[in-house]
Amino acid sequence: MTETINIPEIPNLIHYAIPFFILTLIIEIIVTSKKQMESYTFKDAAASITMGLGNVFIGLLAKAMVFGILTFVYLNFRIFTVPFVWWAWILVLFADDFCYYWFHRISHENRFFWASHVVHHSSRRYNLSTALRQTWSGSFMSFVFWLPMAVLGFHPIMILAQMSISLLYQYWIHTELIKKLPNWFEAVFNTPSHHRVHHATNPQYLDRNHAGILIIWDKIFGTFEPEVEKPVYGLVKNIDTYNPVKIAFLEWYLMLKDVVSSKTTFGNKLLYLIKPPGWKHDGTGMVSSDLRKEWVKNKKKSPDQ
């Protein structure tokens, strides 16, 4: 298939949303200050906003590349052709959200993808500015999780538009001001409560609630965890820097350092790119599943805690 399809260009929704981001950030800062909540620090918020701005500028190049690759796959390998009709947007919502779930989950379970995604989890605060703390490198490789959509016949513009919609949806759930929403909403959609769990370092919360818009995938694939105790945000091993360049590339450096300097076989060196964060070839490392098992064991010993 070598034909082209003339579809009107869909504007970059993230760019249009920037004034909304600014306004809601100001409102949240004012409200949390009045409530005496320690949600914001200047250095942390500044670092997050800088990461967000960098992501937007780098994204201009990345999206051009991704659009080209998706278009190539769509024109040459698609099985079906999904038309631009109203019901197709319902399909693209579910398809995109399914792809996002697996991208997000694997970004926590595979160190290579974690090296870029860790940026979003590096803040010890949880507020709307944290939503803006985005990767500078991930856009150049995360698109592989969406290639099946092009093969199924979703037009690249539909895919990229829904990816932007998903990102916009996930902005508002980065807040502590909203506690719980109605039960029916909590049962189906990703919410601030569900996403606070995802950002927490409490052992029972690690690698849980990978949802984009719909929480149903976590419930189907066994990664759902409700918010019970107060979340502690950040990383299992926090980084002590507000330098945007270090935030963006520190994990890449540490991962490649493990690959190059570890005294082990070539096969084990490659496993540093594949295994979860925290894995060590000599068995001394602790990954999220190990920390969770340890928490379960301690809980059984002290059931009253």
6-60: pLDDT as tens digits:
544 555 677 778 888 889 989 998 998 888 787 899 999 999 999 999 999 999 8
Helices (H), the chain: 13-34, 42-77, 86-109, 111-121, 128-131, 147-152, 156-171, 183-188, 192-199, 216-221, 244-261, 266-274, 288-301
pLDDT score, position 85: 95
Residues in the chain: 305
pLDDT tens digits along 179-190: 999 999 999 999
115 pLDDT above the threshold of 80: yes
Question: For helices 42-77 and 244-261, what crossing angle results, to 10°?
Answer: 70
pLDDT in tens, 60-106: 899 999 999 999 999 999 999 999 999 999 999 999 999 999 999 99
Q: What's the pLDDT tens digit per position in 201-216?
A: 999 999 999 999 999 9
Distance CA 85, CA 153 (A): 13
pLDDT one-digit tens code per residue, 243-301: 999 999 999 999 999 999 999 999 999 999 999 999 999 999 999 999 999 999 888 77
Q: Which residues contact 155 (CB under 8 A, 6 or more apart)?
A: 5, 7, 74, 82, 84
Provide CB contacts within 8 A for 70, sequence distance 6+.
143, 146, 147, 150, 156, 159, 160
CB-based contacts of 265, cutoff 8 Å, min separation 6: none
- Split at pLDDT 50, 70, 90, the class of 1 is very low
Model's pTM, two decimal places? 0.93
> What tokens were used for 63?
């999206």
Question: pLDDT of 143-161, one tens digit each?
Answer: 999 999 999 999 999 999 9
> Which of 98, 215, 211 has the alpha carbon at shortest distance from 154?
98
Rg (CA), the chain: 20
